[in-house]
Structure 1
């Protein structure tokens, strides 16, 4: 056993630094009562990194530079996803999609859990219950929607010889993990007895791709949900148990579920191409995600969409993550914020929790509040367990359904913001959703805040996390904040404030000095992303602001790397807004700026000009100036100015 002990002076006067131990073996990480952390790992390679900051955001940027920058997601990954275990048939899945369309509720992606498979066999679908699945997927595509299905790594080993290509071909190519004696290790998962692909072997990646391609020719799916990839096993080790030796029973066993390295997974002595499973276990989900992402690139020739349960450093290069099987409880709603922020720190920004909770019966009020918070998860999916009542937005009262719809439309209107934040994550290693202390490291009151968070630098989200209340308490760091919806100003000295929060509202505030590009929302991001922009400027006390927009076709691989994008800076100073096109690409030429609102204009202007031409405007008593009907081409520099 190796004992690694670090003190951790994380912040002193706003300064920050970080340690990273890169090791794939089983380990404990123990928080001390003092400001210290202890790692105990039971073997393997010990790679140590120290990140000097000097601020929290820089620490994360340096960490991501080591592990690899997260992939730029395909545009529809940022839409609303709906799933449940227990749709039972493709027709019932299809009816769910049509129901959301009828209520004009936004939806980009429909998912299926293991129900769609024939006897839970990977790369199959049940021709009786899911016979219309190919037609459903074609219908989704006609409506600019997408389809994602689950895949588990366990490959059935008990089908009649010659009847199940994935296993037969896998044996031929020698792609499965072996036991200590060199025989194919057999465990048990949903389809019964199963073999486990060894994703540390490049031959396995090609076999995985060919399986996906063969299935894609039957059901043209758009993305993958890889589950059970710890790897999970209903048995401990294998059907034949595991040898009795120091690898299976090391001198020290970390505090893992079941108390054994083999508990509900594979034998530690199992053999993979790169090493024994004792060293490789924690890498399984990462390597499967890499195989899946690379296969999807080849199959669809677009950015791959993969969501994985198991993760490891570098995961963000290949997949996003959901926070696992939660419950329909208020506590789980609250703790999902910390989970989302943690994975953003770990370089996996495409993350979210199951909206409304996975298991237990959903409550209407909880589901509304969760949909409001979930609209601000970077990855937004409602997912439900088998035999539970439906919890999609159409399952509730008109009041609740409308509130959920409003929350999702709000998310879709903020797509330009979210997409630009993902660009900065991909290119610079920034977080998308971030803790307040990242932006206010000198304000010690922000250090423990886990009930609020920011999108980027400027959009503050204060969700309701308790039942039967129509208010929420939030902390506002010192400065000027504006209500996102109305533009009313809030001057904070660094204080807790109580906000009105009826059931149909999630509180959003804009930080002074920011410019936020938004769009009119629609039922899919394909339609929304073509709408004109509305620029919302939150002026600082001194009348300044800045913001930016990254734009491309939403799906081509490596647009940043190949200069196939547009990038525009917006700024305001001395009563003049200017746009500066730093990089231009044809994809942005069809987008126009239609409206601009300026929060914090201290008196009514006598004149407003757009590119030196007089323009009509409105001015409200709460110091909001709005200029409409602009029709400005985004690919050309423009100015908007006002005089008193």
Structure 2
């Protein structure tokens, strides 16, 4: 994109803000070309009809004839040559390709297709460097670059199987359950089959392979009513369905449903169900099957198999799901496919993380407490008031956050000296930390470019970045200057730093180190990292003398963007408040006021009704307007983003790397925090992510809206990021955009209490929504937080497992109960780990909720968390929806029989909770057995010097705790209570380490045994030695 000086008429149109009169960039600066996406274009060309496909020749490493064959041994190669006249439908056909097939591990198959002839002039178009996205190798569990980027886990003394990834055997066709075969009839196609069942998992046979410099397409059929999950980032039901176009292109846009948003994850799970007796594939129960004979019934007996597919490609993509199957298109790169055989979803996700993208970061213990934020906390005094209000309301608060309000004119690494001075901040943070609480500020992804004609506008961070060659360039070598919150800005060049050694990473670390000397933050929130720019092209290159400038849209609360919307049903349940809000909105409204009044960066578009269509450029690429138009939510690729022709040091262009900016800024920030706070694990929450970002950071769901529908979708979002290997996930509880209300916020605060990342956050100028604002929300929050904080040891142990093995934290019901087809679309309930079933009320005005209790076939028992009794046996019927009481303030939670939960008495902070006495909750299964585990360390060190794993096992009337390791805090808390659920008969004797307990130390009722008085017997610490509680 070019750049030009803004017309003088625009420059005269200055806008007065609350602080100063500054130039407002016209909205038209963010208008791109009107483009019609392929899926909506009646004139779109059909590549399958027009293109010739390829023929395979010079096949090596396989059994073959002239027209077909299969891969044997460990690898297989072939030449693929264009089978006819080039079609050049959306780019220039690549006439000669190379196919490589590798059986990399017993459960992983790689299929790669790249141009046969690559040179300096075109390699960047097709090859994704391993320095940016590691490529799994044949025998290693993690590639060297992935392992080097993965944070070190807490070292363990025992339980190696829990914190060491399983190592799949070296691959070969004989060891693998995946079979690769190919055919030249009528043109080249390949098929991946599951050997054990003969099921075709993926097949391009009978379809054309299209491979051009700006367009790749491959097509595979899928079985009837298939079950695909993943392909993010999108707000959608958990099961993707078979009528969906998934665009994968990182976009800065409020959380639109069924559109591309912040992250890029070209990975999916495919789960298939079969009759157990016949092996016949059956359509699941989520919708009616056209063939009623194959519709599954809850009375049937089934099994399932899941495989995974990952396309290692960072270019803009589009995945079209239809009833017939999947069409995968990308406008650059290569075909770099990985198939994971499973055979269950957990196996696939673990293999994906262990061998391909890296294991998720281990979080500090404090990060599992409650976090409070909003855009609009104006100064340190306001922050202190919020902290004090939580304490007064007796609501736990772990971490207070600040949005961009703290910044000096929205500039990274500089505080506003008037409102967030370093001196006042040091006092605030010292008091906060003394209370065991924490602070996290936001850091944006763009760097202000100071006005060269205004000496007082100097910005040392920018100057140091220029000296380090840390910023992206225009094609002519000048700095690419876009626009974000502070005004005209430059953008860190992570790609140039990773591939060519320029200084962005070191510069970024140095800025954090220096800033930390003034602000003792405890984590970092990375925003705007798609990467976002509020204008098309290098709009600031000739306009820096206007800086600082105001964005070309109103911020929330400014005239024309009042925040006046409320959740569904608000007028019914809050009629007087709704009437008042409506009259205020009407009185304050201007002719341009949006009815939503929520978006801080609305979707930009031209008002033109004509559409730009481009044809392939012979011998080159049109990277600004590629001939194939993906269904990007912003239309033009350059709208609200750094333009495709922005250039990185060393020659890469943004067109080829856009989806990696958010990934690499998390890499840079992870290392920056290690430099600034080397003794502690980095805590980062990022907005834009890519495959593997979880090894550095967590993610929040972005700018959602205070609507019931967004609360519903938050579960699907969380489960999807479990698939992607980003377990530290949460959403803006109570909603970001718009105004929340008492009912929605009550329900949402309780739901999010069972998400790994738990934060309340809302937009500038919306009404306050801290949980203490409404008495009902305060009470609901206290109830849910008491459960959450008691479960912190369980949650922390889940993360230790996830960090060590790639297992999941938030879990879909279908993952834990894989042989129940009726769970394939279950996304209104979820499991926290294997042991807790959460069934939230997600409907406005409801006082009951329907839920299923899975596991009937395996005789799974469930216990009510609150009354600690087994649920009614009539509820334990396969696929049965049970109506549960869920009055406002109550969230149904159930404990799964067969599991043991280590608990601690909840405090107001995680530090306080860690010092409180221990409880153990044992939920026996139908055989009287249960098991669990506990991981202990200091909760913060990158590599703790000591740690302990505790094995908890119950059977035959005894509970045994077996610690292995040597972690012990200075004052280890004692064991207070043990509660055993499902004890069929009242015991005659209860003992601890063989010594009988007094009858006053235990009670029995409703098959519940509650043992107390253990504090004195474990005064040296609950986990310092082995112990046994027996009941006979």
Per the normalisation by structure 1, the TM-score is 0.96
- Residue number in structure 2 paired with 1:572: 954
Give the CA deviation at 1:568: 0.6
1:86 and 2:376 correspond: yes
Report the alpha carbon displacement of residue 496 of structure 1 after superposing the two structures with TM.
1.4
Paired residues of 1:552 and 1:588 also in contact (CA < 8 A): no
| CA distance in 2 between partners of 1:323 and 1:638 (Å) | 43
The reply on whether 1:136 has 2:136 as its aligned counterpart is no
Q: Which moved more, 1:85-94 or 1:588-597?
A: 588-597
Alignment of 1:16 onto 2:311:
no
Classify 1:146/1:474 alpha carbon distance in 2 versus 1 (closer, same or farther; 3 Å). Answer: same
Structure-2 residue corresponding to 1:2: 216
| Cα deviation 1:216-269 (Å, max 9, x = unaligned) | 111111111110010001002221799996111112121112222212111212
Secondary structure, aligned partner of 2:772: helix
1:485-537 per-position Cα deviation (integer Å, ceiling 9, x unaligned): 21111231222111111212111101110001111111110110122211111
Matches within 5 A, 1:4-83: 4-8=218-222, 10-12=271-273, 13-34=303-324, 36-65=325-354, 66-83=356-373
Query: Which of 256, 272, 288 is the equivalent residue of 2:648?
Result: 272
Tell me by how many angstroms 1:182 deviates: 1.0
Instruction: Report what 2:996 is aligned to.
Output: 614
Note closer, same or farther for the CA distance 1:627–1:7 as it changes in structure 2 (3 Å cut).
Answer: farther
* Aligned 1:24-423 pairs, distance under 5 A: 24-34=314-324, 36-65=325-354, 66-131=356-421, 132-159=424-451, 160=454, 163-200=458-495, 201=497, 203-239=503-539, 246-273=622-649, 275-301=652-678, 302-397=680-775, 399-423=776-800
Name the stretch that deviates more: 43-52 or 174-183.
43-52
Alignment partners' CA distance in 1, 2:717 and 2:516: 33
Secondary structure, aligned partner of 2:414: coil
- How far did residue 584 of structure 1 move? 3.1
Alignment of 1:485 with 2:886, yes or no, is: no
Tell whether 2:1025 aligns with 1:636. yes
Q: Deviations over 1:283-304 (max 9, x none)?
A: 1011101111111112112000
CA distance in 2, matches of 1:567, 1:298: 30
**TM-superposed deviation, 1:7:** 4.2
State the shift of 1:621 in Å: 3.1
Specify the alignment match of 2:290 in structure 1: none
Contact 2:450–2:459 at 8 Å: present in 1 too? no
Q: State the distance in 2 between where 1:470 and 1:604 align.
A: 36
- Give the C-alpha shift of residue 4 in structure 1: 2.6
Alpha-carbon offset, residue 191 of structure 1:
0.4
Counterpart in the other structure of 1:548: 933
Which of these residues, 982, 994, 998, is aligned with residue 600 of structure 1? Answer: 982
Q: Secondary structure at the match of 2:415?
A: coil
Structure 1 distance, partners of 2:966, 2:306, is 37
Which residue of the partner structure matches residue 466 of structure 1?
A: 843
Q: Is the contact between residue 514 and residue 545 of structure 1 (CA under 8 Å) also seen in structure 2? A: yes
Task: In structure 2, list runs of 5 or more residues that go unmatched.
Answer: 1-214, 223-269, 274-302, 543-613
Q: For residues 437 and 24 of structure 1, what CA distance do their matches in structure 2 show?
A: 30
How far did residue 134 of structure 1 move? 2.9
Distance in 1 of aligned mates of 2:786 and 2:334: 48
Q: CA shift at 1:591, angstroms? A: 3.5
Structure 1: distance between partners of 2:979 and 2:804: 29
1:319 Cα deviation after fit: 0.7
Please list the CA deviations of residues 579-600 of structure 1 after superposition, one character each: whole Å capped at 9, or x if unmatched. Answer: 1223332349814322110000
The residue that corresponds to 2:595 in the other structure is none
Match of 1:19, SS? strand
By how many angstroms is 1:611 displaced? 0.0
Cα distance, 1:588–1:512 mapped onto 2, change above 3 Å: farther
| 8 Å CA contact 1:179, 1:267 repeated in 2 | no
Task: Give the distance between the partners of 2:724 and 2:328, measured in 1 at CA.
Answer: 17
Q: 8 Å contact 2:488–2:540 — kept in the other structure?
A: no
Mapped partners of 1:591, 1:7: distance in 2: 58
**Deviation (angstroms), 1:31:** 1.8
In 1, Cα distance between equivalents of 2:970 and 2:985: 34
List 4+ stretches of structure 1 deviating above 6 A. 240-245
- In structure 2, what is the equivalent of residue 510 of structure 1? 895
Q: RCO greater where, 1 or 2, for CA within 8 Å and sep 6 or more?
A: 2
Query: Mean alpha-carbon deviation: is it higher for 491-500 or for 357-366?
Result: 491-500
Q: What CA distance in whole angstroms lies between the structure 2 residues aligned with 1:165 and 1:425?
A: 41
Pick which of 151-160 and 216-225 moved more. Answer: 151-160
Describe the superposition over 1:66-90 as per-residue Cα deviations: whole angstroms up to 9, x where unpaired. 1000010011111100000011222
Matched, 1:590 2:966: no
How many angstroms apart in 2 are the aligned matches of 1:157 and 1:82? Answer: 31
Q: After alignment, is 165-174 or 343-352 more displaced?
A: 165-174
Q: 3-state DSSP class of the match of 2:445?
A: coil
Measured in 1, the distance between the counterparts of 2:712 and 2:481 equals 40
Radius of gyration: which is bigger? 2
User: Does the CA-based 8 Å contact 2:481-2:541 persist in structure 1?
Assistant: no
| Displacement after TM superposition at 1:466 (Å) | 0.9
Q: Report Cα offsets for 1:29-55 as digits up to 9, x if no partner.
A: 222223x33221111243211111011
Q: SS at 1:123's partner residue?
A: strand
Quote the Cα distance in structure 1 between the aligned partners of 2:400 and 2:390.
11
Give me the CA root mean square deviation. Answer: 1.8
* Deviation, structure 1 residue 551: 0.8
Distance 2:431 2:393 in 1: 18
Is 1:625 matched with 2:915? no
Task: Tell me the SS of whatever aligns to 1:423.
Answer: helix
For the residues of structure 2 that align with 1:146 and 1:374, how far apart are their CA atoms?
20
Q: How many residues align?
A: 638
Contact 1:487 1:624 in 2 (8 A): yes
What is the match of residue 183 of structure 2? none
Partners of 1:458 and 1:128 in 2: how far apart? 50
SS for the counterpart of 1:336 is helix
Task: Show CA shifts across 1:303-357 (max 9, x none).
Answer: 0011100000111111100001011111111000000110011000000010000
Q: Distance in 1 between matches of 2:396 and 2:1025?
A: 31
How many angstroms apart in 2 are the aligned matches of 1:396 and 1:51?
A: 49
Unaligned runs of 5+ in 1: none
Structure 1, 181-190 or 628-637: larger mean CA deviation: 628-637
Separation in 2 of the partners of 1:371 and 1:363? 12
SS of alignment partner, residue 376 of structure 1: coil
Q: What is the DSSP-based 3-state SS (H/G/I as helix, E as strand, rest coil) of the residue aligned with 1:609?
A: strand
